[in-house]
Amino acid sequence: MSNFLEDIIEKDLSSGHAKTIKTRFPPEPNGYLHIGHAKSIHLNFGLAKKYGGEFVLRFDDTNPLKEDIEFVNAIIEDVLWLTNLKKEELKVNYASDYFGIKYECAISLIKKGLAFVCELMPDEIRRSRGTFEKKGTNSPFRNRSADENLRLFEDMKNGKNSFVLRAKIDMSSPNMNMRDPIIYRVIKDAHHFRQGYKWKIYPMYDFAHPIQDAIEGITHSICSLEFEDHRPLYDWTLDNVFDIIQNASQNKKDNIPHSSLPFRSRQYEFARLNVSRTIMSKRYFKTLVDEKKVDGLDDPRMPTIAGLRRRGYTSSSIRNFCLSVGVAKANSEVDTRQLESFIRNELNATAPRAMVVLDPLELEITNFDDTHKRLLDFSYNITVGTDTLSIEKEVSRKINFSKKIFIDKSDFLLDPPKNYNRLTPDGFVRLKSAYIIKHISHEKNEDGSIKKVFAEIVPDSLSGNDTSGVKAKGVIHWVDQKTAINAKVKLYDYLLNEESDGDFLDNLNKNSLVTVNAKVEKHLEKSKQGQSFQFLREGYFVRDEKEKDLSFNRVVALKDSFKM
Ligand code: ATP
Ligand code: MG
C-alpha cells in the first residue's frame, strides 16, 4: 500500500513537475537524534531510494548559540548507522554555507518593499501580533523607505544595532505566521562552528528553510505536522526570492552543490512519531541529563539513537519499526511495546542463548562427584546465521557442570503458589541441558530467607538421554559455581510511569534502572561489546559498549502480550 507522499511523488514524476526526486533530513545540531528523527530519516531516505532519487543530510545550523560540532558528528554517526550508508555515500550540507545567498534574498525583499527593519522590542512585537481572535497591529517602522531599511539592515549585519528584519506580509492574516514574521535577527559575538565570527545576523528557520531547499533542488520538503501553518510562509518566501536563488545558482555563488539546480520546492507534512512512556524532545533530554536523572544522552533508557544502540537495538529493528508505523496525516502515539517487538523478534532469531543467574542461590548436589571435569552440551539455539555475532559458529557448545551450582532465588520456594513449575521442598525439576534434580534439604539465613539448597541428581536423567522415567514439572537455568564469573546486569524499564500527566519530571519511573550482580557462564567472558544474547528465561541482553568490565544491559524481556 502506498502512502500519501508516494502518491504525490508519483504524480509529480509522471506530470514532469519533477524529473527526479530529492529529499533531505534537516536536523538542527543542538542535541542528539531520537527515534522520531529516525522515522523522518527513514521516510526521506526511503522515498529517495524507492524512486531512484537523492537524499541529503542538511544541518540547519542557523543558531550559533545552541549548536555545536559535537552534535554534528553525533548526528552524522547516527544517520550512517540508521541508513547503512558509508561515510562517502552520505551527502552532508550545511544551511550556513548559503548565508551569502540568504542575505541577498533579504536585500532583495527590502528592495521589493517586502521587508523592513523593526525596532520594537521582542515583547512589543509579540503583543502587536494580536491573537487568533484579534488582528495584529502594524509596526510603526513598517513604512520606512527601502534605502533606510537597507542602511539599518547593514547596521544589523555589522552588529551596530539589535533590531530585526521582518517580512512585510499582513498583520490581519488569520495565519499568525504571516503577521510580519521576523526573518533575520542579530546574534553578536557568538562563535559559529563553521562560520566563526563572520556573521552577526542569522536567518530564522521559516526564511532559511525554503531557500536552502530550493538551492539544493529539494523537490519534496517533508516535515512534521506542526509546520503545516508555516507552509504559506514557505511559499511566500519562494514566490518572492526564487529569482535571486536562480541567479546565484547560475553564478555558482556560495557553496551551491554543483549537482543541484534550484527547484521551486514544496513542503509536505506528516504526523510526527510519538512513543508511549518516553520523552521525545531534545530540550527535555537536556533536562534529564542536567538533573542527573539519566546517565548521559546515550543512557540506554533514552529514546535517542545513541541510547537505543547502547540498549542493544539494531538499525534494522529500528527501520522495520519505522516502516511498520507508516506515514499518517494525524498525530498519534505508538505503544513502546511495538518498538520492542521488533528487536525481540530479531534477537529471537539471532541472539545466542546463554545461562545467567541474576539473583544467585547456592545449590549443592549431594550425590555427584566432580573430581573429574564434567561437560554437557548446550545449544545456542539460533535460527539464522551467526555472522554478525562472530561467536563460534557451532550450533552447540560444552558447558561445565559440577557439584555446586547457582540457581535463581525465585526458582526455589518453600511455599509455592499454584502452577509453580520449579523447585519446591521434596519436588523435582530439570536443570536446563543437564539432569533432573530432587530437593533434599535447605539451610536458612537468620532472617528466614533461604541460604542454600541441597539436592540429588535423579540417575539416568541427563537431557537427551533420559531413561529415568521421572517427570520433572519444569526446567530451570543454572550456572556452574566453579567456573561462573561475576557480571553487572542492568535491568531497564520505561522512563515514564504508565499514567502520566503534568510535568514529566514528576512522572519519572523510579525503577527504570535496577542493577544486579549476576553469576554468568564463563563463556560470556569472550563476548564482545555490543554483542547480544538471550539469557535463558530472563530476556535479551547486550554487552554494554562503554563499560570495560563485564556488564550487560537488558534490551527487552522475553515475552510480551502486545499484539500488532
Ligand atoms: P526536538 O523537538 O526533539 O528538538 P526538532 O523538531 O526540533 O526536535 P529538528 O532537528 O528540528 O528537531 O528536526 C529535524 C527533522 O526531524 C524535522 O524535519 C522534524 O520535522 C523531524 N522530526 C523531529 N521530531 C520528529 C518526530 N517525533 N517524528 C517525526 N519527525 C520528527
Ligand atoms: Mg526543530
Give the ligand 1 atom nearest the CA of 34: 3
The residue type of 75 is I
Q: Whose CA is nearest to atom 25 of ligand 1?
A: 36
Q: Ligand 2 centre from 272 Cα, in Å?
A: 12
Nearest CA to ligand 1 atom 26: 36
DSSP 417: P
Which ligand 1 atom is nearest residue 27's CA? Answer: 10
Whether the Cβ atoms of residue 306 and residue 79 lie closer than 8 Å to each other:
no
Neighbouring C-beta atoms of residue 521, cutoff 10 Å: 24
- Rg for the chain (alpha carbons), in Å? 31
- Please state, in angstroms and rounded to a whole number, the distance separating the CA atoms of residues 108 and 167: 11
Ligand nearest to the CA of 33: 1
The residue whose CA is least distant from atom 13 of ligand 1 is 27
Kindly name the residue from 28, 362, 456, 545 that is annotated as catalytic.
28
Instruction: Classify the phi-psi angles of 114: left when phi > 0, otherwise alpha if psi is within -120 to 50, otherwise beta.
Output: alpha
Residue nearest to atom 23 of ligand 1 (CA): 37
CA of 28 to the centre of ligand 2 (A): 6
- Which atom of ligand 1 lies closest to the CA of 273? 28
Asked whether the beta carbons of 514 and 525 are under 8 A apart, the reply is: no
Structure-block grid coordinates of residue 44: 526521506
pLDDT digits (tens, 9 = 90+) for 24-53: 999 999 999 999 999 999 999 999 999 999
Closest protein CA for atom 10 of ligand 1:
27
Is 195 exposed, middle or buried (CB count within 10 Å of its CB: 0-12, 13-18, 19+)?
middle
d(CA 355, CA 319): 30
Residues 526 and 563: their CA atoms lie apart, in Å, by 36
| Cα distance between residue 453 and residue 365, in whole Å | 9
| Chain-centre distance for alpha carbon 273 | 11
Percent helix / strand / coil, the chain, rounded to 5: 30, 25, 45
Pocket mutation for ligand 1, best pick of 224, 280, 297 (most atoms within 8 Å of C-beta):
224
Phi/psi of residue 84, nearest 5 degrees:
65, 20
Buried b / exposed e over 169-181, threshold 16 CB at 10 Å, is bebebeeebbbbb
How far apart are the CA of 328 and the centre of ligand 1, in A? 15
Task: Please identify which of the residues 282, 301, 311, 490 carries the catalytic annotation.
Answer: 282
Q: Which of 174, 170, 169 is nearest to 133 (CA)?
A: 174
Test site for ligand 1: of 37, 228, 281, most ligand atoms within 8 A of the Cβ: 37
Cell triple for residue 290? 542536567
Annotation marks residue 528 as catalytic: no
Measured between alpha carbons, how far is residue 81 from residues 207, 314, 462 in Å? Answer: 31, 9, 45
pTM over the 0.85 mark: yes
Cross-strand bridge partners of residue 455:
365, 439
Q: Which of 316, 288, 314 is nearest to 302 (CA)?
A: 288
CA atoms of 527 and 485, how far apart (whole Å): 13
**CA 494, chain centre distance (Å):** 14
Q: What is the pLDDT of residues 166-224, one digit of tens each?
A: 999 999 999 999 999 999 999 999 999 999 999 999 999 999 999 999 999 999 999 99
Q: In the structure, which protein residues have their CB atom closer than 6 angstroms to any atom of ligand 1?
A: 26-28, 36-37, 39-40, 223-224, 272-273, 280-283
How remote is the CA of residue 264 from the centroid of ligand 2, in Å?
Answer: 22
Q: Which ligand is located closest to the Cα atom of residue 221?
A: 1
Tell which residue, 397, 361, 371, 368, has the closest CA to residue 481: 361
70 CA to centre of ligand 1 in angstroms: 18
**168, 272, 422, 490: the active-site residue:** 272
- Cα 478 to Cα 141, 431, 436, distances in angstroms: 79, 7, 12
Candidates 40, 227, 285: which one to mutate for ligand 1, based on the most atoms within 8 Å of Cβ?
40
* 352: its cell numbers: 545466542
Q: Distance from the CA of 416 to the center of ligand 2, in angstroms?
A: 54
* pLDDT, position 189: 92
Please indicate whether residue 28 is annotated as part of the active site.
Answer: yes
* Known active-site residue 490: no
Report the separation in Å between the CA atom of 205 and the middle of ligand 1, taken as the mean of its atom positions.
13
* DSSP type of residue 295: S
What is the residue-level pLDDT of the chain in tens, covering all 564 positions?
A: 689 999 999 999 999 999 999 999 999 999 999 999 999 999 999 999 999 999 999 999 999 999 999 999 999 999 999 999 999 999 999 999 999 999 999 999 999 999 999 999 999 999 999 999 999 999 999 999 999 999 999 999 999 999 999 999 999 999 999 999 999 999 999 999 999 999 999 999 999 999 999 999 999 999 999 999 999 999 999 999 999 999 988 887 777 776 568 999 999 999 999 999 998 988 899 999 999 999 999 999 999 999 999 999 999 999 999 999 999 888 889 999 999 999 999 999 889 999 999 999 999 999 998 877 788 888 777 655 443 344 445 567 889 999 999 999 999 999 999 999 999 999 999 999 999 999 999 999 999 999 999 999 999 999 989 999 999 989 999 999 999 999 999 999 999 998 767 788 889 999 999 999 999 999 899 999 999 999 999 999 999 999 999 999 999 999 875 554
DSSP state of 386: -
Three-point CA angle 516, 316, 73, nearest 5°: 80
Beta bridge partners of 430: 436, 475
